[in-house]
Amino acid sequence: MTAQVLCFGFNTKFQRELVDAWTSTLDAKTVDLVLLSRRSCPNVDEHAETALKSARRVPEGAVGERLKLHFLRLQYNWIYQQLESSRPEQVLIYNGLNGVNYLVSAACRELELPQLYFERAPLQDRVQIDPSGVNFQSSVPTDIQFYRALAEDEFADCHGADYVDSHRLNDGPTESDPHSASTELGSESYVFCPLQVPRDTQVTVFGGWITGIPHLLDSLNEASRLLPADLHLRIKEHPSSPISFAQKVESYQNPKLVLDQQHDVYDLVANSRGVITINSSVGLEAFLFEKPVITIGKALYSFGEMTTRASDLDTLCNAMSGIKSLDWSRLERDRFLKFLFFWFPPMQQVLGKDYSPSDMRDRDKKYQSLLDVAS
């Protein structure tokens, strides 16, 4: 591997198009296949165990887990050796949190190689391109003083800060979720919780005190019983979830906990009295509808007075019982969303090569100037 830029984890058609556009003027090579090596490299056991926790596919049973762990060790060794011998100027990684992609990130840190991470952004038709990581690990500032200190015109000067409060953050109904809203939602009084994909890194890595979707459901079952008498909790399974939790929800025999697979997420948010989530982008969607948001895990947008944070089951129960009195800062939410529209470039601009590495460098310079002003 002699290229100046090595790319890992760009496997789908979209990911391929993304990295091809970004590297069109660079000396880059995409690694299609990660091989195996028995020669142990620094901290291989630690990194393999972390990768196992975030891997999307893990065989069932203790034997299957041990085999997967051994396989991850061998993959890490090979990745480390390739990076050590080639010493690329930069390593591009898609996501960098799950399985093999985490191993690449770990090897880069061990070797002190510059990294650049890519992922779909939590805003519609935008992409994360960040040297620190994606989602909760990104460079997006989470010190609320940054947003409080800047004047409104500072945000207006940001390149790409095209946010207006009528924007949809995510796509509406799709072929896999074709149902539109019915008028019955308008007559319901409920809090909404969108379930996330069970093995997604937003759950396995950034889930906080929640160990998984089954644990989340157990906690929601208990907390929902403390909702005000006129409210109930509606949950919706993620359309990409490989398993259904319908039977588990039914087993609670809790009239306060309702599984709703009929309605679109957008409409469920719009008609709700509030949203509770681990860290889904649906929480950002709720900002636009001026709904209270309760976050359970590590969410990119959960700081300052934008949300209510439930750091354990007790605080979750307290938040649910007091859902009608939860408050938030409209100013902080507005400024945070404007910054995200500045930080995450439009996907079509990247794919069309209208947003390039030089544009990212300009973005980073502008960000540094904002930091200087805020300090």
The whole-chain average pLDDT of the chain stands at 92
pLDDT: which is higher, 53 or 12: 12
353 and 331 within one domain: no
Give residue 110's pLDDT band: very low, low, confident or very high (50, 70, 90). Answer: very high
Give residue 183's pLDDT band: very low, low, confident or very high (50, 70, 90). Answer: low
312 and 191 within one domain: yes
Does some domain include residue 354?
A: yes
Structure tokens of 331? 């100013």
Structure tokens of 248? 């588990």
Give residue 1's pLDDT band: very low, low, confident or very high (50, 70, 90). Answer: low
pLDDT digit string, tens, across residues 216-273 = 999 999 999 999 999 999 999 999 899 999 999 999 999 999 999 999 999 999 999 9
281 and 233 within one domain: yes
Whole-number pLDDT of residue 179: 43
- Spell out a b/e string for 232-251, using b for 16 or more CB atoms within 10 Å of the CB, else e: bbbbbbbeeeeeebeeebee
DSSP 130-198: ESS-SGGGSS----HHHHHHS-HHHHHTSTT----TT--SS---BTTB-PPP-GGGGG--EEEEE---T
Whole-number pLDDT of residue 66: 94
Q: Is the pLDDT of residue 3 over 90?
A: no
d(CA 94, CA 76): 16
d(CA 222, CA 236): 17
Q: Are 191 and 227 in contact (CB under 8 A)?
A: yes
Give residue 174's pLDDT band: very low, low, confident or very high (50, 70, 90). Answer: very low
Whole-number pLDDT of residue 2: 66
Percent of the chain with pLDDT over 70: 91
Give residue 182's pLDDT band: very low, low, confident or very high (50, 70, 90). Answer: low
Q: Is the pLDDT of residue 165 over 60?
A: no
Q: At what angle do helices 357-374 and 330-343 cross, to 10 degrees?
A: 150
The residue range of the domain holding 213 is 183-335
264 and 203 within one domain: yes
Give residue 180's pLDDT band: very low, low, confident or very high (50, 70, 90). Answer: very low
Whole-number pLDDT of residue 158: 66
Whole-number pLDDT of residue 157: 63
Whole-number pLDDT of residue 203: 93
Does some domain include residue 171?
A: no
pLDDT: which is higher, 320 or 2: 320
Q: Which residue has 């100046």 as its token pair?
A: 4
d(CA 94, CA 34): 14
Q: Are 90 and 97 in contact (CB under 8 A)?
A: no
d(CA 171, CA 161): 20
Mean pLDDT of 346-364: 97
Give residue 171's pLDDT band: very low, low, confident or very high (50, 70, 90). Answer: very low
Structure tokens of 364? 């980073």
39 and 136 within one domain: yes
* Residue 174 CB contacts under 8 Å (≥ 6 apart), including other chains: 239
Give residue 57's pLDDT band: very low, low, confident or very high (50, 70, 90). Answer: confident
137 and 27 within one domain: yes
Domain count, the chain: 2
- Distance between terminal CA atoms of the chain? 43
Whole-number pLDDT of residue 59: 83
122 and 23 within one domain: yes
Q: Which candidate, 65, 79, 114, 119, places its Cα nearest to that of 97?
A: 119
Q: Which candidate, 324, 316, 318, places its Cα nearest to that of 292?
A: 324
What are the residues facing 177 on neighbouring strands?
174
State the DSSP code for 29: E
Helix (H, G, I), strand (E, B) or coil at 363: helix
100 and 188 within one domain: no
DSSP 263-307: S-HHHHHHT-S-EEESS-THHHHHHHTT--EEE-S--TT-STTSS
Output the domain CATH number for residue 241.
Answer: 3.40.50.2000
Q: Are 223 and 294 in contact (CB under 8 A)?
A: no
pLDDT: which is higher, 177 or 229: 229
Structure tokens of 358? 């030089």
